[in-house]
Structure 1
Amino acid sequence: MTLEPAVEDALSEPLMASSLWFMIALMGAATVLFVYMGRNVSDPRIALIFAATIGVPAVSISSYFGLASGLTIGVVEIAGRGETVTMWGRYLTWTFSTPLILLALGLLAGSNATKLFTAIVFDIGMCVTGLAAALTTQAVWMRWAWFGISSAFFLVVVYVLLVEWPRDVRAQEPDVQNLFNTLKLLTVVLWFGYPIVWALGTEGLALLGTGTTGLAITSWLYSLLDVGAKFVFAFVLLRFLADEPETVARKTLFGAPTTADD
């Protein structure tokens, strides 16, 4: 496959390339570390949380390699601006990785299947409509319309995170409640960073620049958000599960008491 000249120029920029290869190395190391941390897990609920969380860096490796190889980077012609390089592969990884984050967090909260399904479906809708915003070329206002739709989906996810799941986690042990509240705030704060970067970056208002340097800055901002939203989130969660499995293992998958609790 022959890369478009604009894509080749972007990937030849050291600042841009480093934002991708750094994440490949980090997510690769994270996957190995998290698998090792879960080597002794036997409880079904904890095992599912581990599996979902380990899937986050595992999916990210493929995504970042797709970006680094140029496979999931394209060029779109934006009305009034001209050619713009878009890293559409990021939306692909968010579509797969963010539902796993929500699954792990919802299971930790002891939420039910309906709330988990709601959060995950609207999250996927957020990612897909975000991709539509990045790829739309007919008119700039249409890009922002898609961005608005994506933001509406996002607000539903935020509602579940800040309102519904905090109610569910009250039935859990105090240590689990504290962990959930920490991860909830980490997730909400960092996830708000993504649409802000989109709006300021090369696919939005282009306030960071439209050339390769602007694209590299945008890419690094996304990568740094991923470090916090994926690696830090996963490490804090899995370290707690590995150190105190009995605290979380007292509930079944969707929060109902186990026989031992009756």
Structure 2
Amino acid sequence: MVQPGSTEELILWIGTIGMALGTLAFIAMGWGEKDEQKQEFYIITIFITAIAAVSYFSMATGYGLIEVAGIDIYWARYADWLFTTPLLLLDLALLAGANRNTIATLVGLDVAMVVTGLAGALATEGATFRIAWWGISCGFFVALLYFLVSTLSQQAAKRSGDVAATFSTLRNIVIVLWTAYPIVWIIGTESTLGYIGLTTETALFAVLDLAAKVGFGFILLRSRKVLDSVSSAAAQSAD
């Protein structure tokens, strides 16, 4: 149970407010947009932070927390990742002009990564099984990174200079920030290693989430020129 007035609760409320403000900002940025291709980016990005805001609200109010084998597990965090990380990848894939097979591969690897990570958090057999599940999840993550830096990057390289540059920036942000998640997990409480406490773990995840969702969204949506280029390329492909 989140203790009322604790630092942990404050962190979760900051996460809630940050995601909510990001959602409102993205709605304002896309307000009045008529182009369907550009609307797609706004819709996806708005849902990313909106889902995250609901997740953080549930954790801040104590509903997103359960106890497994004596360990506090924020299940709502995994529910958040299960929906928002595929949407983040979809934003990247649309920016790169990826085909359906590439998108399906990325989303499939991502879902497998999150689900196996959740299995590790919920494992009751002890640290060995938790860390084993973490290793499996990391395996899916490595495969995901391979597709990001190979197939998806190759497709993005065919785009205009501004689009390709924005893709590279967002891809690198995803690689760096997403790599930090399993590191925080393994040194935190859910692995049972406990090199950092739950409050520190919660703070680190909150910083990563805000950067990976709100920060990602601002970089993607701030450039009308990039979105115009993607929309024009999509229209030409349709013709």
TM-score range (shorter-chain normalised) is: over 0.9
**For the pair shown, which has the larger CA radius of gyration, 1 or 2?**
1
Q: 1:215 aligns with which of 198, 207, 211?
A: 198
TM-score, normalised relative to structure 2: 0.95
| Alignment partner, residue 83 of structure 2 | 96
2:101 to 114, 118, 121: 114
Q: Does 1:165 align with 2:165?
A: no
The unaligned stretches of length 5 or more in structure 2 are: none
Once the two structures are superposed, residues 202-253 of structure 1 have per-residue CA deviations (whole angstroms, 9 ceiling, x without a partner) of 1122001xxxxx111100000000111111000110111x355322212228
1:233 corresponding residue in structure 2: 216
User: Partner amino acid for 2:194?
Assistant: A
**1:7-50 Cα shifts (integer Å, max 9, x gaps):** 1xx43352101111001111111111101101132232222122
- Contact map agreement 1:108 1:176 (CA 8 A) in 2: yes
The question of whether the paired residues in 2 share the 8 Å contact of 1:122 and 1:154 is answered with yes
Deviation at 1:74, TM superposition (A): 1.1
Output one character per residue of 1:78-103: Cα deviation in whole Å (capped at 9) or x when no partner: xxxxx221112111100011011000
Structure 1: distance between partners of 2:126 and 2:226: 53
Where does 1:77-226 land on structure 2 (aligned, <5 Å)?
Answer: 77=69, 83-204=70-191, 205-208=193-196, 214-226=197-209
- Percent of aligned pairs sharing the same letter: 35
Asked whether the 8 Å contact 1:30–1:231 carries over to 2, the reply is yes
Query: Is residue 249 of structure 1 aligned with residue 235 of structure 2?
Result: no
Q: Runs ≥4 in structure 1, deviation > 6 angstroms?
A: none
Residue 68 (structure 1) aligned with residue 55 (structure 2):
no
In structure 2, the residue corresponding to 1:108 is in which secondary structure?
A: helix
Task: Name the aligned partner's letter for residue 208 of structure 2.
Answer: L
Q: Which residue of the partner structure matches residue 3 of structure 1? A: none
Q: Distance in 2 between matches of 1:167 and 1:46?
A: 22
Amino acid at match of 2:120: A
AA aligned to 1:230 is K
The TM-score normalised by the length of structure 1 is 0.87
8 A Cα contact 1:49 1:103, kept in partner: no
Corresponding residue SS for 2:72: strand
Distance 2:123 2:15 in 1: 27
> What letter matches 1:132 in structure 2?
A
Question: 3-state DSSP class of the match of 2:234?
Answer: coil
Residue identity opposite 1:257 in structure 2: S
Q: Which residue of 1 aligns with 2:33?
A: 41
**Structure 1: stretches of 5+ with no match in the other structure:** 1-6, 78-82, 209-213
Q: Does the 8 A contact of 1:45 with 1:107 survive in 2?
A: no
Q: How far did residue 51 of structure 1 move?
A: 1.1
Aligned 8 A contact 2:110 2:140 in 1: yes
- CA contact under 8 A between 1:250 and 1:258: conserved in structure 2? no
Shift of 1:258: 4.6
Change (3 A) 1:34 1:243: farther
Residues 11 and 68 in structure 1, CA contact (< 8 A), matched pair in contact too: no
